[in-house]
Amino acid sequence: MEVLYSSTRNGEPKFTASQAILKGLADDGGLFVPDHIPALSCSMRDLSGKSYQEVAYEVMKLFFTDFTEEELKNCIERAYDSKFDTEEIAPLVEAEGTYYLELFHGATIAFKDMALSILPHLMITSAKKNQVENEIVILTATSGDTGKAALAGFAGVEGTKIIVFYPKNGVSPIQERQMVTQKGDNTFVVGIRGNFDDAQTGVKALFNDRELAQEMAAAGLQFSSANSINIGRLVPQVVYYVYAYAKLFQEERIAEGEKINVVVPTGNFGNILAAFYARQMGVPIGKLICASNENKVLYDFFATGTYDRNREFVLTTSPSMDILISSNLERLIYRIAGEDAQKNAALMDSLARTGVYEITEQMREQLADFYGNYADEAETAGRIRQMYENTGYVLDTHTAVASAVYQKYRESSKDETVTVIASTASPFKFTRSVMNAIDGKYDAMSDFELVDELARIGRLDVPNAIAEIRTAPVVHDNICDKTEMKAVVKHFLGVDA
């Protein structure tokens, strides 16, 4: 059955999957959502014997219904190949009776690789399907991981350019170095004086700038997005929750139909929304546990039903979650509002104008299977140290937030359901924070000395993503104020004459 996409702020018009992927963001500022969530057409017993690539096809074919089998399989094969350092793509590792779904084995050692390895191929295929002759300009804001993963995915891809904005002092040293050393004539990286929300707001404003769109069209260019707002990012994330369940069943860790809980460290809400979509497809997921850091806007939302971004922005050791405007939450709000685009648009308008919106009691009742909590900096560091001392397994800061929140949930609920924690980044991406958590004696070491020490004490191989940036020259040294983003984009694209 065909799946069509419409905006969360306007139920009409309808778009095919390829059209929605190309546009990225709807013209009215809303996010594209499917007109229905398709049910899995394979049983878990059937899926349990399949490779990651085969599971990816079984999931994606149900959402991307205007892609041919050949087109979709070609995209999948190009994405999930030797760029990943394990054939499993997303291995499950057991520690202290919980399963960590390692989503960091791709080219940039973070979970964003799982979707951004395939997005360029989906986008180029979509352009051909829709006879698009313009060059596609990927415009994205990053809190640390999306930027490098998108750059790696799109670098050198013919018919595309990519522009990434990141908060200049709001990402880890390793994250920044990964981005500013990125090669490729079609790549452009800019640090902004501001935080991630400033970067994301600026990018959304550029997408909605009609005058700029006309200038670009005249130059044979058009914007698209690699952020998690793009449905071509979200659907590939659904895959690994389906795969994780099938893998647990295959290994006889669960019985067929037995529910599992899923814990996701999240700021922008896309990764946990993907788990929610997997649940809607028929994956037996019980609780969806939403883990926040000290920027606990989502925790407060689940606790009170009020979303309020009017608060101090906190820089933490889990920077990819340092977000106060969780864009993907809009897709969930649209759903619990009965897919009433007008109702959702009013809430989003309130957020834009006042920084606050409040959902109804009826909407809150539909969130019963979500659990929100947060871990502060001390709890996050303590969890890294505790896990290392107990098991030798090293968590990154984001995964540690999730693990600490899961401990709180388990203690308060006494729920012993088999649980999968989304492990969203390699500890090598946040070596200083991780090593300081394990032992303060490491503080005097340089970033790359810490890399070698982490490899030694964790009995781990240094990922290629880290090894290759040790001596790589800085290619991008651009910095601008948040008010200058439009001028910077126009200059790079050559439309500022």
What digits encode the pLDDT tens for the residues 276-307?
999 999 999 999 999 999 999 999 999 999 99
Q: What is the pLDDT of residue 227?
A: 77
Q: What is the pLDDT of residue 238?
A: 98
Residue range 85-106: average pLDDT? 97
CB 246 within 8 A of CB 50: yes
Residue 334 one-letter amino acid: Y
Q: What is the pLDDT of residue 489?
A: 96
Mapped onto helix, strand or coil, the DSSP state of residue 39 is coil
Per-residue pLDDT at 226 exceeds 90: no
Instruction: Please report, for the chain, how many H helices and E strands are present, in that order.
Output: 22, 16
What burial class does residue 355 get, using C-beta atoms within 10 Å of its C-beta: 0-12 exposed, 13-18 middle, 19+ buried? middle
d(CA 238, CA 426): 20
- Give the pLDDT band (50/70/90) at residue 484: very high
Q: Give the least confident one: 1-15, 138-152, 445-459.
A: 138-152
Q: What is the DSSP string of 230-259?
A: SHHHHHHHHHHHHHHHHHHHHTTSS-TT--
Q: What is the pLDDT of residue 496?
A: 81
Question: What would the pLDDT profile of 184-224 be if each residue is shown by its tens digit?
Answer: 999 999 999 999 889 989 998 998 899 999 999 999 999 98
Catalogue the active-site residues: 112
Question: What would the pLDDT profile of 26-73 be if each residue is shown by its tens digit?
Answer: 989 899 999 999 999 999 999 999 999 999 999 999 999 999 999 999
- Give the pLDDT band (50/70/90) at residue 497: low
